[in-house]
């Protein structure tokens, strides 16, 4: 099945030009400062890239989900994973909660700013004791008159420092067991009782800001309840499929970039009387990695097609997340090896890709969790 079109190819080229002009020359500075400037996202907003599938009445492009995935993959050709995840958290992991569960008034209030890049979003699910295990969250919210009062903390929140709008999961029924009794809330930056506890230093994704969030008797209006009370777990899980596809696209983009850089390097790097690419073991290893990447890429597009067709895709998306999270690490590790000592230098994009790729087997659902989701649905 052919999934992509000439229009998708044009989008890839447009994104590639943007990366060449607006991202790659500045990424090292962003890594040093620890975040991607909001102005970059505003430029992307003007190009219509922050609301690919969202309604045009709010500034969205109203594309199908496959086009959005093509964009995700094209964006992930950047060698700066922190920039990529800053964007993808905003477009595919946080703001979708608003479009999927928001009331007409909430959508009208917040979505135009999210699409333009004037309001950067983050989603607060993970906690010190609750990562892939969403049911284990302890942050709680109690109703007090016309407000909800939130208490607790969130950990490893991408865009946590610089976001303007946060979608926070909290337990609203203290007597409910497991995944029951969780609700989602809209919390604006500057809300009394809400603060950024600390900015977290990471192994990779250095040009994205990651933070601990603290809620200390944080009052939000009752109107800021996002979706139905006590139904937040289902909202989180449904959006996980979109999030995991985006992370799969990111892994594919990283792998393709690493393979391109390494192929170029081995074709010009002289050693032992010739260039490295002349060595059969090297070119065949690159060929096998490219084959695996293209196979995983086909699964990525198939998952996007399943979403477009509104078909159940938990099994396929879990396969994608497990497969690509492991594959991208295999690819970048092998590519670093072929770069030799230069691949270990921080001036080398391959060194950065190695650091940035590691978390793709962890974040958004660790490989082991994904494989359990697949195992539950095996039909052999």
Which residue numbers are catalytic? 243
User: Residue 167 in contact with residue 123, Cβ under 8 Å?
Assistant: yes
User: Bridge-partner residues for 166, per DSSP?
Assistant: 122, 187
Angstrom distance (rounded) from CA 273 to CA 268: 12
Residue of 283, 263, 285, 269 lying closest to 340 (CA atoms): 269
Q: Are 148 and 225 in contact (CB under 8 A)?
A: yes
- The CA distance from 369 to 135, in Å, is 14
Are the C-beta atoms of residues 130 and 155 closer than 8 Å to each other? no
Structure tokens at 187: 């919390």
3-state secondary structure of 163: coil
CA distance 198 to 28: 23
Q: Return all residues near 2 (Cβ < 8 A) that are at least 6 apart.
A: none
Specify the 3-state DSSP secondary structure of 156: strand
């Amino acid at each position: 099945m052919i999934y992509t079109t000439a229009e998708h190819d044009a989008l890839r080229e447009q994104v590639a030009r943007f990366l060449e002009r607006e991202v790659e020359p500045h990424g090292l500075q962003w890594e040093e400062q620890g975040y991607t400037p909001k102005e970059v996202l505003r430029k992307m907003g003007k190009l219509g890239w922050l609301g690919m599938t969202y309604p045009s009445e709010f500034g969205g492009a109203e594309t199908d989900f496959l086009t959005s995935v093509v964009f995700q993959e094209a964006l992930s050709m950047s060698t700066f994973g922190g920039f990529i995840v800053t964007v993808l958290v905003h477009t595919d992991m946080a703001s979708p909660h608003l479009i999927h569960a928001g009331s007409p008034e909430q959508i009208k209030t917040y979505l135009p700013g999210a699409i333009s890049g004037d309001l950067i979003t983050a989603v607060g699910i993970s906690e010190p004791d609750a990562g892939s295990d969403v049911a284990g969250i302890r942050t709680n919210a109690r109703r007090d008159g016309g407000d909800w009062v939130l208490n607790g903390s969130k950990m490893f929140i991408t865009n946590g420092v610089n976001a303007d709008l946060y979608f926070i999961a909290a337990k609203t029924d203290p007597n409910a067991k497991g995944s029951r009794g969780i609700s989602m809330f809209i919390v604006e930056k500057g809300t009394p009782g809400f603060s950024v506890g600390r900015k977290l230093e990471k192994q990779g994704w250095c040009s994205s800001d990651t933070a601990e969030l603290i809620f200390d008797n944080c009052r939000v209006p009752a109107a800021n309840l996002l979706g139905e009370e006590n139904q937040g777990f289902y909202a989180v899980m449904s959006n996980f499929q979109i999030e995991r596809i985006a992370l799969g696209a990111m892994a594919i983009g990283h792998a393709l970039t690493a393979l391109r850089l390494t192929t170029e390097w081995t074709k010009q790097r002289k050693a032992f009387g010739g260039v490295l690419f002349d060595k059969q073991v090297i070119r065949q290893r690159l060929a096998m990695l490219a084959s695996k990447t293209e196979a995983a890429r086909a699964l990525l597009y198939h998952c996007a097609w399943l979403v477009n067709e509104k078909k159940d895709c938990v099994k396929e998306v879990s396969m994608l997340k497990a497969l690509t999270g492991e594959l991208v690490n295999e690819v970048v590790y092998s590519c670093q090896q072929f770069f030799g000592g230069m691949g270990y230098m921080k001036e080398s994009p391959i060194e950065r890709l190695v650091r940035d790729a590691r978390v793709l087997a962890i974040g958004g659902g660790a490989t082991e969790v994904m494989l359990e989701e697949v195992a539950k649905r095996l039909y052999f």
